[in-house]
């Protein structure tokens, strides 16, 4: 049974962070937002504090004493598919592609606003719930003003139909299925094109550009399909829509 089936209980967050002032502020902030917070001050403590099924989301700092965030991520993924949001410091060199391959769900860079963090937490939880609920693939996906009818292969933006080519549709479908999640270029290319991918590495970007032209209010400043520099793209589930 999914932990979310236990309706009414507060969402439990494991905060793995060694900077004391940061832990306190975060704990208070998240509690105010209605979360139950457990804090672990280093990687070893994180692994002993983690109980599968008893934790809904992990905020994992990368630079930790005793055991690195990367090692914690690897160990957690051996026992659990709990959503994990990586936290890194500004300027820290981070191999996001590797982290996503190991199974991180999203990441934020310090310093971040609590609001942004909470939005990211809610996005990974929503995705997980949608995933748990849908035995089969959904035939209709709606995110903000965008609606995809999978069976009919039609796309609507704010009620108006936009015509998508086959690969554009597949690409948007994949992004919408993973709101708030960074999808690497490799994953997007592999899932949408597979061995059909014969173009140069710009083919993906050309498709993204065309999708933005069709679905974004301002394609030059995209609010739905955002670029994660050097890594890939993300469909923003957290932006207000209206
Ligand atoms: Ca740290």
The rounded Å distance from CA 106 to ligand 1 centre is 17
Omega prior to 111 cis, within 30 of 0: yes
Task: Give the end-to-end CA distance of the chain in Å, rounded to a whole number.
Answer: 35
Pairwise CA distance, residues 35 & 28, whole Å:
10
Pairwise CA distance, residues 144 & 223, whole Å:
11
Q: Residue 82 to residues 9, 51, 112, 125: CA-CA distances in angstroms?
A: 17, 10, 22, 9
Query: Dihedrals φ, ψ of 57, to 5°?
Result: -160, 145
Mean pLDDT, rounded, for 93-115: 88
CA contacts within 13 A on the Cβ side of 7: 0
The rounded Å distance from CA 19 to ligand 1 centre is 6
pLDDT at residue number 238: 56
The rounded Å distance from CA 115 to ligand 1 centre is 20
pLDDT at residue number 92: 80
Give the helix ranges, DSSP H, for 103-146.
Answer: 114-133
- pLDDT tens column, 35-44: 999 999 999 9
pLDDT at residue number 136: 57
The mean-pLDDT minimum among 45-49, 130-134, 171-175, 220-224 falls in 130-134
Mean pLDDT, rounded, for 106-122: 90
The rounded Å distance from CA 41 to ligand 1 centre is 9
Q: Residue 40 to residues 14, 37, 173: CA-CA distances in angstroms?
A: 7, 10, 37
The rounded Å distance from CA 58 to ligand 1 centre is 15
The rounded Å distance from CA 20 to ligand 1 centre is 10
15 touches 30 (CB < 8 A): yes
The rounded Å distance from CA 59 to ligand 1 centre is 12
The rounded Å distance from CA 218 to ligand 1 centre is 37
Pairwise CA distance, residues 217 & 239, whole Å:
13
Residue 134 in this model has a pLDDT that exceeds 80: no
pLDDT band at 7 (very low <50, low <70, confident <90, very high): low
Pairwise CA distance, residues 241 & 229, whole Å:
24
CATH top-level class of 140-235: mainly alpha
Pairwise CA distance, residues 204 & 168, whole Å:
10
Neighbours of ion ligand 1 (CB under 5 A): 18, 61, 63
Task: Report the topology of domain 12-132.
Answer: Rossmann fold (3.40.50)
The rounded Å distance from CA 16 to ligand 1 centre is 9
The residues pairing with 59 across neighbouring beta strands, listed in sequence order, are 15, 85
Residue 202 in this model has a pLDDT that exceeds 60: yes
Mean pLDDT, rounded, for 12-41: 94
Residue 45 in this model has a pLDDT that exceeds 70: yes
pLDDT band at 107 (very low <50, low <70, confident <90, very high): confident
Mean pLDDT, rounded, for 6-16: 83
Mean pLDDT score across all residues of the chain: 87
The rounded Å distance from CA 84 to ligand 1 centre is 16
Positions of CATH 1.10.10.10 in the chain: 140-235
The rounded Å distance from CA 123 to ligand 1 centre is 24
Helix (H) or strand (E) holding 96: helix 96-102
Kindly state the tokens that stand for 70.
């990367």
- pLDDT tens column, 50-75: 988 889 999 999 999 999 999 999 99
The rounded Å distance from CA 237 to ligand 1 centre is 27
Positions of CATH 3.40.50.2300 in the chain: 12-132
pLDDT at residue number 152: 87
Query: Dihedrals φ, ψ of 157, to 5°?
Result: -120, 120
The rounded Å distance from CA 18 to ligand 1 centre is 5
Residue 242 in this model has a pLDDT that exceeds 70: no
The rounded Å distance from CA 62 to ligand 1 centre is 6
pLDDT at residue number 90: 78
pLDDT at residue number 1: 42
3-state secondary structure of 182: strand
Residue 219 in this model has a pLDDT that exceeds 80: yes
The rounded Å distance from CA 64 to ligand 1 centre is 5
């Amino acid at each position: 049974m999914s932990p979310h089936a236990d309706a009414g209980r507060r969402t439990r967050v494991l905060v793995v962070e060694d900077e004391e002032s940061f832990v306190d502020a975060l704990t208070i902030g998240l509690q105010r937002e209605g979360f139950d917070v457990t804090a672990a001050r280093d990687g070893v403590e994180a692994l002993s504090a983690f109980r599968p099924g008893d934790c809904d989301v992990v905020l994992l700092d990368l630079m930790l004493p005793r055991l690195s965030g990367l090692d914690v991520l690897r160990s957690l993924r051996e026992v659990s598919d709990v959503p994990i949001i990586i936290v890194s410091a500004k300027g820290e060199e981070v191999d996001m592609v590797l982290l996503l391959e190991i199974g991180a769900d999203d990441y934020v860079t310090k310093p971040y606003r609590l609001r942004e963090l909470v939005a990211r937490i809610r996005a990974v939880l929503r995705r997980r719930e949608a995933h748990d609920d849908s035995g089969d693939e959904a035939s209709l996906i709606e995110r903000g003003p965008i609606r995809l009818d999978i069976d009919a292969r039609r796309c609507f933006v704010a009620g108006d139909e936009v015509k998508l080519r086959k690969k554009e549709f597949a690409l948007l479908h994949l992004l919408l299925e993973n709101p708030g999640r960074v999808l690497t270029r490799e994953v997007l290319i592999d899932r949408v094109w597979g061995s059909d991918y014969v173009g140069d590495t710009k083919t993906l970007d050309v498709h993204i550009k065309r999708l933005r032209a069709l679905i974004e209010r301002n394609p030059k400043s995209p609010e739905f399909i955002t670029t994660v520099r050097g890594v890939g793209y993300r469909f923003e589930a957290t932006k207000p829509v209206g």
